[in-house]
Amino acid sequence: MSDLIAAYSGGTPPCAIGIVRMTGDGCLETLKKAFFPYSPLEDKKMAYGRLKAIDGRTFDICMACFMKAPSTYTGEDMAEIYCHGSEAVIALCLKTLYSLGARPAEAGEFTKRAFLNGKMNLAQAEATADLIYSRSEQGAKNAAALLSGHYFKPIGRMRQEIMDTVSHFYAVCDYTDEDIDPFEYQKAESSFKEKAGYLQSLYQGYLRSSALSEGVKVALIGRPNAGKSSLFNRLAGFERAIVTNEEGTTRDVVGHTVSIGGKLFSLMDTAGIRQGQSEAERLGVQRSKKALDEAMLVIALFDLSRPVTHEDMEIAQMCRGKKAVAVFNKTDLPKKADVSELERLFEDKIYVSAAAGEGIGRLCQWLEENSGAGSDILITGRRQAELIKMAADSLSKAAESAAGGMTADAFLLDAEQGARLLGRVLGDDVDIDIAHGIFSRFCVGK
């Protein structure tokens, strides 16, 4: 038994079509009191008809669909009304449903019901939120892969295998007379070790996953007037940072997130690196160095229209150990720099004119190609990642104890703990507050 809830699930009105959803007991009866189809309603078939308010007056002519339990998103009877997306129509549609007995849904309540009715596990519910909030093609594809169970299935299997190993051991101990295969310590050890390794790699993936939501960090560094802010604005697509012909224009780190080739990049324009002329500039240079440290990719910018200085050489040295590209700017001006030494210090080199917009495509291509393995599916939820890390530690401990000759009943306790933690990733014994926190991240209507 679950009460009937309704909510608006569509985009911000006014929009072409507004979607109003309902789920719970009495869904069909309520729909029929508000929506009058021209032909009989059939399970999961669109119907065309009139939406009528409580006073019996038609306020929209639109499509609606009734979906019979259990094969629905929530596992309950559901209905969706695709009304015109005006604020007034949507409000009247909801008002009508509420006066017919539905109550307003809370944030994420549809998905919460899907979880409670076994339609998806907790990790999949979290992936649904990721999908809604995805900001790049790559983020959406990652969330969709998680939603379809890309790594939850192996986790479920792994938990089962651990529990099978544990039960096997106790069966051997309890039924000594029966014909049960002996318990193989070495096999248990290597299986726990292998699982721990796999879980560790999932956790490592999580550490890289902020690139999906926040973008791969890219620092633009170079001496004053090299054209960093000009190039930054080119990549951002608008005049985000101030550009002047004065040296030391940029004093702070200026950030902007852009999508290039379906991937997200968090660009950081920085203060030009030189011996600071003022306190503000010195602090700015410190921040440039910090941005360089934090960045996954570095664009080191050099000015072709002025001779190379020791500051340029210093900047090149600062890029050591980083994935960096040397970008030689101002190809539109007469060349005054001998950049042969700089060229030797960088594997990747690109010539551009930030002012004329030349070579920017090649730089974008470099960013795309160097932003990491794009097809890896990464875990994005901290809750899941922490449980996975703890499970990996428990299994490593079990494997080490097994290798160290500890008795099976002792090391299997750690393995069992690992299995329990994996269960919690999928939503077993999950604390009600944790579940509540997860669903409240959703918007109303999802």
Ligand X SMILES: Nc1nc2c(ncn2[C@@H]2O[C@H](COP(=O)(O)OP(=O)(O)OP(=O)(O)O)[C@@H](O)[C@H]2O)c(=O)[nH]1
Interface residues toward ligand X, by CB under 6 A? 222, 224-230, 243-245, 247-250, 271-272, 329-330, 332-333, 353-355
Residue 445 binds: one of ligand X, Mg ion, none (C-beta under 5 to 8 A by kind) = none
427 binds, among Mg ion, ligand X, none (CB under 5 to 8 A by kind): none
Q: How far is the CB of 288 from ligand X (least distance, A)?
A: 9
Quick one: CA torsion of 127, 129, 135, 140, rounded to 10 degrees?
30
Q: Are 200 and 393 in contact (CB under 8 A)?
A: no
Cβ proximity to Mg ion, 140 vs 253, nearer residue = 253
Could you give the CA distance from residue 76 to residue 117 in angstroms, rounded to a whole number?
A: 8
**Closer residue to Mg ion, CB minimum distance, 301 or 388:** 301
> Per CB under 5 A, does 250 bind Mg ion?
yes
Residue closer to Mg ion, measured from CB, 109 or 281: 281
Identity (one letter) of the amino acid at 177? D
Q: How many residues bind Mg ion (CB under 5 A)?
A: 4
Torsion of CA 205, 208, 212, 216, to 10 degrees: -150
Based on CB atoms, which residue is closest to ligand X, 89 or 243?
243
Structure-block tokens of residue 88? 């007034």
Tokens of 325: 């590209």
| d(C-alpha 312, C-alpha 345), whole Å | 11
Nearest-approach distance from CB 230 to ligand X, in angstroms: 3
Stretch that binds Mg ion, among 102-110, 174-182, 224-232, 374-382 (CB under 5 A): 224-232
Query: Segment near Mg ion (CB under 5 A), from 164-172, 185-193, 202-210, 227-235?
Result: 227-235
- Are 117 and 76 in contact by the 8 Å Cβ rule? The answer is yes
- Report the distance separating Cα 440 and Cα 426, nearest Å: 18
Residue nearest to ligand X (CB): 272
Nearest to 236 by CA among 249, 212, 218: 218
* Contact between 249 and Mg ion per CB under 5 A: yes
Out of Mg ion, ligand X, none, which partner does residue 65 contact, by CB within 5 to 8 A per kind?
A: none
Nearer to ligand X, 104 or 361 (CB): 361
Q: Which residues contact 171 (CB under 8 A, 6 or more apart)?
A: 180
By beta-carbon proximity to Mg ion, the closer residue of 7 and 273 is: 273
